[in-house]
Copies of this chain bind each other. A is one copy, B any other.
Amino acid sequence: MRKLILNLAITLDGFIEGPNGEIDWLVRDPEMDFGDILNEILSDKDAIFYGRVSYDKWGNFQPDKEASSKIKVAYERMHSKQKYVFSRTKTGDDTDAIFINSDIEERVLGIKQQPGKNIWLYGGAEITTTLLNLDLIDEFRLAVHPVIIGSGKPLFQNIRDRHKLKLTDVEGYKSGVILVKYQSETLAT
């Protein structure tokens, strides 16, 4: 079955954005070019899940003209994936993105059972919470950036149950970023 994998950058204090949506706390690393990161994330995925807010902000993002060709190619690759957008009300736009308005558990299980590569759960926080509470996330691949920002949008909020995870990999980089991978175990009791 395809796995649903949350790939996301967070601060040490667990935020995915500052209070005004800032991501200026992201640490740049010569070892980890953003195009490489994106390519690495996309390498085992052929679909992307977005919450509606994240989709509006990033779902059709185009890099600057000055961006490296590697980043441009990575975004092209990203935009060639099948996108799914979770929204209570919006039913579509002028792209091939599929909007999901209801029956989330059933729809997500259906998509996971389709043949294909894994699915990237892009975020944001609300759809992550919903899918985590439904125990539908199979893996967490977090890039923990070496900064405490104090306030903003937390990745984990309104989580109902305990979730035990299995650590499968952790690696620190010169930039101070830690890449950590967990598999979902069972709901802890």
Residues of A near any B CB (own CB < 8 A): 12-14, 25, 132, 140, 146-151, 155-156, 158-167, 169-173, 176-178, 180, 182, 188
Contacts and interface: CB of A to CB of B under 8 A. Distances in A.
Contact of A167 (B151, B166, B178, B182): B178
Given A14-B13, A170-B170, A147 B159 contact: no
A136 to B, nearest CB: 14
Contacts of A155: 13
Nearest to A151: B159
A145 to B, nearest CB: 9
Describe A's contact surface by its main secondary structure.
loop
A150 B187 CA distance: 12
Contacts of A188: 25, 147
A25 B162 contact: yes
A146 B162 contact: no
A176 B172 contact: no
A156 B150 contact: yes
24 contacts: A12-B156, A12-B165, A13-B155, A13-B156, A13-B159, A14-B14, A14-B156, A146-B182, A147-B165, A147-B188, A148-B156, A148-B159, A148-B163, A149-B159, A150-B161, A165-B176, A166-B176, A167-B173, A167-B177, A169-B172, A170-B170, A170-B171, A170-B178, A176-B182
